[in-house]
Homo-oligomer: A and B are copies of this chain.
Amino acid sequence: MRVTIAVDAMGGDHGLSVTVPAVLSFLAAVPEAQVVMVGLAGPLEAALASEDKALRARIKVRTASEVVEMHEPPADALRRKKDSSMRVAIDLIKSGEAQACVSAGNTGALMAIGKFVLKTLPGIDRPAIATQLPNTHGVSTVLDLGANVNCSSEQLLQFAIMGSALTTAIEGRENPTVGLLNVGEEETKGNEVVREAAELLKCSGLNFYGNIEGDDIYKGTTDVVVCDGFVGNVALKTSEGLVQMLYQFLKDEYSRNWRTKLAALLSYRVLKSFKSRLDPRRFNGATLIGLRGVVVKSHGSADELAFEYALRKAYQEVAHGMLDRIAQRIEAVSAKLPVVKSLDVDQASA
């Protein structure tokens, strides 16, 4: 399927030095894809000048006159930078010139611009941030990771619908299982919002497994893990911190003396494959899900390989009709559930 992805060529810590080579590798690997790179005219043209003709022919260039800074307040980026590379890239979805947008820029700004330009999908109160995390036998899709720090039970239901559609699009699983992150498996556990969400999920027609606990994320008990953005963000960051600490401990132990250093040398390949199973680059790309368009946020510090993974994720979501799947599942769920007035209780975005 022919897919055009708009790339914010200037976003992230490394800008063009990462986005250009990543786009080239991506195009070489995915013949059905085309890219519109959006950036400052001079630097972007220069970065693309010497590239392979055949690949270059599948890249369009759109210029933008400014760049959203990594720590710029989202509201400023939205109001004052109407010709930023991020904004122009999102506008390309709106105008139909692209079906997806990938940016390694400021998350808050990308979400604010996405919401303003594209709006949310019918039936969705607010977009969420979703990503895949490794588990013992594959990956789990987890959402929300920080866009909504206060959620109603209806929003958690919407996250479940979106996570389910995303998992089908990315993983090809037709009827993925959905778990509700809680402090225990029993139905009496948790707060009121989570208990209500469980009731809604039971009647939703989704493949609802029930309550799960934090360890189930990595056990892979369910394909989709639903939680509010506060809890999801803490779970994700806690995991990042723990992995860093474990690497540090492993390094400490292997560098104690000549014997342990020798053991490290002999374990080089083992440790390399071990690390590659957890390589955050392979899981790069968080989907801003719930917008009327596919928007994928790459980590700001992404390197070429990581950014390419984010591009592939956006491609998959378009090629496997994620947006249509969300719409269909919302239809199906509304048919089963009494219409509930959605409460928009979110007070802040992360």
Contact = CB atoms under 8 A, between A and B. Distances in A.
Interface string A145-177: 010011000000000000000000000000000
Interface of A is mostly: helix
Interface stretch (A59-67, A90-98, A243-251): A243-251
A241 B217 contact: yes
Given A189-B350, A192-B347, A254-B270, A219 B245 contact: yes
Given A183-B146, A188-B348, A263-B267, A235 B235 contact: yes
Interface in A211-232: 213-219, 227, 229-231
> Which of A230, A269, A277 has the most chain B CB atoms inside 10 A of its CB?
A230
> Which of A184, A242, A250, A347 has the most chain B CB atoms inside 10 A of its CB?
A242
Contact of A218 (B233, B244, B277): B244
A254 to B, nearest CB: 6
B269 A266 contact: no
Nearest to A239: B242
B262 A237 contact: no
Given A231-B230, A245-B219, A270-B254, A214 B191 contact: no
Nearest to A248: B136
A344 to B, nearest CB: 14
Contacts of A270: 253-254, 256, 260, 263-264
A266 to B, nearest CB: 5
Interface string A257-289: 001101110110111011001100000000000
A240 B264 CA distance: 26
A181 interface: yes
A55 to B, nearest CB: 36
A182 to B, nearest CB: 8
A192 B150 CA distance: 9
A241 B266 contact: no
A337 interface: no
B262 A233 contact: no
A201 B149 CA distance: 21
7 contacts: A191-B230, A214-B240, A217-B238, A218-B244, A230-B231, A242-B243, A249-B274
